[in-house]
Structure 1
Amino acid sequence: MACLFSLCMQPTTFTFINKDKLVRPSKDKVAVIMGTTGTGKSRLSIDLATIFGGEIINSDKIQIHKGLNVISNKVTDEERRRVPHYLLGIIDPDDDFKAHDFVYHASLTADAITKKGHLPIIAGGSNSFIKALVIDDIEFQSKYECCYLWVDVPMPILHPFLEKRVDKMVERMLVDESREFFNPKGDYTHGIRRSIGVPEMDEYFRKEKLVDSATRAKLLAKAIHQIKENTCKLASRQLRNILRLAEQLEWQIHRLEATEAFLRSDVEANEAWETLVLGPSIKILAHFLNKKTK
């Protein structure tokens, strides 16, 4: 690992053409961390940022909003390990943030990060945002070369994990968090109210004071079941979008199989993560950063 770290830290921002003149390479470099919900994108992005001097640009369309820290699974201050994060919890809950908004703000942020000599790392599950930036935006393509890392876990293994994660969210005040965004008009089509975990609770909030405790418990169980079901559907939909994006990128992405990290527990899970996900990612990104730009 020491050799890899040494390789990672070699300067790549500038190229000397003679002793008096310093020029920038034709393109700066960006790492893009892809994956469905729950696969560990945030963890990998922070791991890599601590090694490569990176700063993270959030590309999750719900996490961009203020609020729903538990339901949207935002990284905590402790989990960030002092790594700078951008476009995270900055938008008013009622405002809509479209793909073109993301392209504008992500581009400006990437420019600011590279000017400091740091590595922009884009991480999040909203693949429509990533596509708008790296495929549809010609200006971004002209300025940056991207390294795509895809953290993948098969759906039959991921779905049970996502269901357990919802149970943990319930223990961490999911109901109270969702209650803040209950809409008496039943409109959950704008802003943060679109998040899975909010519209599913609507019936429960409408009826909880009108029914007995047994019925109330059934309504809550129904809502939680719907949240789990919709979360799994989201993961499947995200996978289809990743595969579509991979085709558009002509499969110039690096798939990282994280299954063993999910099947094992505690220390063994961490060892599997470091061996099967983090280790290969370090090698891939080190090679990418130290090769000549196009």
Structure 2
Amino acid sequence: MKLTMMLTQQAQPSLLKIPTGGMDLSVLRCRPQKEKVIVVVGATGTGKSRLSIDLATRYPAEIINSDKMQVYEGLDIVTNKISNEECEGVPHHLLGIVDSKAEFTARNFVTTASLAMKSIVGRGKLPIIAGGSNSFIEALIDDKNYEFRSRYDVCFLWVDVAMPVLHRFVSDRVDRMVEAGIVEEVRKMYNPNGDYSKGIRRAIGVPEFDTYFRAEYLSSSDKSIREKLLQEAINETKVNTCKLACRQLEKIHRLRNVKGWNIHRLDATSVFEKRGREAEELWAEMVVGPGSVIVNQFLFNFGHLQSFVPTTDSVGTKRREVMAVASL
């Protein structure tokens, strides 16, 4: 692919003015280069999937799911799996592929994600890893044999939302899940002897309903008591989801501040404080725009300039992003 398909003549000279200390750039370009990978992290509900798709529609990219509950088949409402329509035609890997009763460990993720990345790269595409299971991502990137780091250059994007704002959003999202049928979805798989420590039954929104379904299953209480138990289950789901968000945020801070990962923070708080068209415009301005600039700079540095060519139906938008990179 030709770089000139994306860069304007004005942007090219600025982008290529990189100090070389008198080195022959042709020698550098002959060196083996690492493949590029984008990793999108963030607490639950912050819009990781949304950003990964926004980026994937701008580049020839495919997405690898790193959410440890979304790898399982079933319980699409509980696990907030992205729908086929929301995927916008972008291929997704490791999404709903594991039997609901099976155990899928970090080691399993490393193996399957590595195979997916090799396949994606082999077809000339950009792998984008997105999901809230930071333990999976850490196991993949900081593996014992240093295989990932020796093979790939990685760019981390962190979609962040202030916790008070996110907690309100998560609470509202659980209410929307109830409206969408989460109770019936969990009821279909309810087993009074089920093990909530294995498989998809560990997902938040499953064990919380056990007491309610047990009363319903045994017909041991009247309607008013069951309604109370149902509300308690919904509230517990909200509380545990907020606790999960806090744990995920703590892990991201540890990866950034203790392990030294170069994680680029994108503050989406203002987006979640708005609704409708205003929220959509802020998402483009505060998250997608800055994220695209960071990705462009990462992908199109010297020595990697012809690796990927963004695809977009908005030439003006892409030109502004490239010019922003050139001025950095």
Specify if TM > 0.5: yes
Instruction: Give per-residue Cα distances to partners, 1:110-143, cap 9 Å, x unaligned.
Output: 0110111110000000000000011125111110
Offset of residue 216 of structure 1: 1.1
Report which stretch shifted further, 124-133 or 174-183: 174-183
Offset of residue 186 of structure 1: 4.7
Give the match for residue 194 of structure 1: 202
| Equivalent residue in structure 2 for 1:177, among 170, 185, 193 | 185
Whether 2:220 is the aligned partner of 1:213: answer no
Unaligned runs of 5+ in 1: 11-15
Unaligned runs of 5+ in 2: 13-24, 305-328
1:154 and 1:283 mapped to 2: Cα distance?
23
| Equivalent residue in structure 2 for 1:136, among 132, 143, 148 | 143
1:7 and 1:207 mapped to 2: Cα distance?
64
Offset of residue 71 of structure 1: 0.8
Give the match for residue 254 of structure 2: 244
Whether 2:163 is the aligned partner of 1:160: answer no
Amino acid of the residue matched to residue 75 of structure 1?
Answer: I
Give the match for residue 159 of structure 2: 151
Give the match for residue 60 of structure 1: 67
1:133 and 1:285 mapped to 2: Cα distance?
20
Q: Report the TM-score, using the length of structure 2 for normalisation.
A: 0.82
Offset of residue 184 of structure 1: 1.4
Offset of residue 181 of structure 1: 2.9
1:162 and 1:293 mapped to 2: Cα distance?
43
8 Å CA contact 1:162–1:228 kept in 2: the answer is yes
Instruction: Give per-residue Cα distances to partners, 1:240-274, cap 9 Å, x unaligned.
Output: 01111112442411000001110011000000000
8 Å CA contact 1:58–1:122 kept in 2: the answer is yes
Inter-CA distance 7–124: structure 2 relative to 1 (3 Å threshold): farther
2:125 and 2:266 mapped to 1: Cα distance?
24
Amino acid of the residue matched to residue 167 of structure 1?
Answer: D
Count of equivalent residues: 282
Amino acid of the residue matched to residue 135 of structure 1?
Answer: D
8 Å CA contact 1:25–1:293 kept in 2: the answer is no
8 Å CA contact 1:27–1:293 kept in 2: the answer is no
5 Å-filtered alignment, 1:23-102, equals 25-102=32-109
Give the match for residue 110 of structure 2: 103
Give the match for residue 319 of structure 2: none
Q: Report the TM-score, using the length of structure 1 for normalisation.
A: 0.91
When the two chains are superposed, the root-mean-square deviation of aligned CA atoms in Å is 2.1
